[in-house]
Chain A
Amino acid sequence: MIRLDGVAKTYRTRRGDPVEALAETSLTVGENEFVTLVGPSGCGKSTLLKLVGGLVPATRGTIRVREQVVNAPFPDVGFVFQQPVLLPWRSVLDNVLFSVEMLGLDPRQYRKPAVDLLELTGLAGFETKYPYELSGGMQQRVAICRALLPDPGLLLMDEPFGALDAMTREEMSLELLRIWEERRKTILFVTHSIPEAILLADRVVVMTPRPGGIARVIAVDLPRPRTMDLEFDARFKAHSDEVRSLIFAGRKVRA
């Protein structure tokens, strides 16, 4: 579904110095695969996400989604960012309808699907509430509904649970998997958290900085549906160790 061939991205700072956010990278992602991108700051994972979504053009290489070359935003993508960025002057329901409105579709056709999505994410009854009345986790769920409403084939999520507290994070991870089981789509999910990356994914793309790029892609050998106690499974630990060794390679921890 997604193919990156030798894709690289260099930004220019104000002074004109080049900053290589992503070095030559190649990757393929299959249809309806759940792939996580994990790595420390500066490894280029958010850049990769934006490249796939067409929000930034590649400096080198080609990106293809469903065989079409990507160099600009295209329909069939849903974005979810770390901040829910809901519109404070709109109700929850109108916030969910924001995506179809901006796409130029008729929001009236989508009211029922929007209500269904809210129910799916556990927000039934909150349609008329305003963002300031919701907790961070609930706002993020609204943002996910908003992204899902146009039923995109591809969901790009940039640390969507990063602003939430640890317990809400866990809850939302399982919630997301549940939603994904009901409405299958391809998901690219960026995270800082190694356990989260392993728990959610079919494959984990481990990235390292300086220069930003893929160190390795690890296939996750765990059954679905995933549960929290899988974290104690031996296979989980093996994957976790492997990811850690890649990320912390060459860094000596001073005792």
Chain B
Amino acid sequence: MATLVGALVLWEAATRALRIPRFIMPAPSAILGEGWEWRYRFIEHTWVTLYETLGGFALSMVVGVPLAVLIVYSPILRGALYPLIVLAQSVPKIAIAPVLLLVLGYGELPKMVVAFLVAFFPVVIDTATGLHATPPELLDLSRSYRASAFKTFLKVRLPMALPFIFAGAKVAITLSVIGAVVGEFVGSDKGLGYVILSSTSYWKTELAFSAMILLSLMAIVLFAAVSLIERLTCPWLVPERDA
């Protein structure tokens, strides 16, 4: 905390002393001032980006987790889908975004799709890893009781995989923010990414900084929310206590 305050003070002092022009590096006081003036419009823009982020994230989980289950349980599907997934991952999303906007229009949907494309790969990989993480003795035990594959999945493999799924979710949510902003950079008239782009073209750098700060805060809060859900869902993952 103290280092943060110190850094801000230094920043403020440096911009004043060195007379750095506002449009290159604004002082924290200027950022706060302009940001506060713009607050109502910022709320609207933040909400748009948040909506896109959450939509993309939700899609990545709803598609990614079942996809991982399919890949783990079906060698045929694994052979068919795995290369496609890796291919989708290797194409830079920045390159896809303009095409998506052409196809899906100017609204929130294409940004959600970009967010989804960026976020679903870690979800799939982490979920698949988690499903493979069950100790073989437990699987032998389930087999010895002649439990169905579904029962073993529900009672053993899925709960075992939860920590991994949450790891994937934590990465996915932060990537979703990036995906939404990338989508906005390519073409939009709303959202924090749009604000950054348009305000810099008007030399209103303070607004760009404000938008960046808001984006960072959004990512942090979303990450913390996922972590909280993880702690509530998986209470057994308590860190090692002293005996």
Contacts and interface: CB of A to CB of B under 8 A. Distances in A.
A55 B138 contact: no
B156 A73 contact: no
Nearest to B240: A132
Given A89-B159, A89-B236, A102-B147, A83 B135 contact: yes
A interface SS class: loop
A132 B236 contact: yes
A103 B235 CA distance: 27
Q: Which of B138, B144, B234 has most A Cβ within 10 Å?
A: B144
Contacts of A77: 144
State which size class the interface on A falls in.
20 to 34
Contact of B155 (A74, A102, A103): A102
A130 B142 CA distance: 20
B147 A85 contact: no
B141 A79 contact: yes
B132 interface: no
Q: Which of A53, A55, A75, A88 has most B Cβ within 10 Å?
A: A88
B144 A85 contact: no
A81 B140 contact: yes
A140 interface: no
A51 B240 CA distance: 38
B141 A85 contact: yes
A86 to B, nearest CB: 9
Given A55-B143, A102-B155, A132 B137 contact: no
A174 to B, nearest CB: 25
Given A53-B144, A77-B144, A83 B236 contact: no
Interface string A57-76: 00000000000000001110
Given A79-B141, A81-B140, A132-B236, A87 B156 contact: yes
B19 interface: no
Contacts of A74: 146
Interface in A71-117: 73-75, 77, 79, 81-83, 85, 87-89, 98-99, 101-104
Contacts of A53: 144
Interface residues of B, number: 21
Contacts of B146: 73-75, 103
A73 B159 contact: no
A135 to B, nearest CB: 8
B151 interface: yes
Interface string B215-243: 00000000000000000001110101000
A13 to B, nearest CB: 17
Contacts of B234: 89
A79 B142 CA distance: 10
Interface string B158-191: 0100000000000000000000000000000000
B218 to A, nearest CB: 31
A42 interface: no
A54 interface: yes
A82 to B, nearest CB: 8
Contacts of A85: 135, 137-138, 141
A102 B236 contact: no
Given A87-B159, A102-B155, A132-B236, 13 more contacts: A55-B143, A73-B144, A75-B145, A79-B140, A82-B137, A85-B137, A89-B159, A99-B145, A102-B145, A102-B152, A103-B147, A104-B147, A132-B238
10 contacts: A55-B143, A77-B144, A81-B141, A85-B135, A87-B138, A87-B159, A102-B142, A102-B145, A103-B146, A132-B236
Q: Which 5 A-B pairs have the closest CB atoms?
A: A102-B145, A102-B147, A81-B137, A89-B236, A85-B137
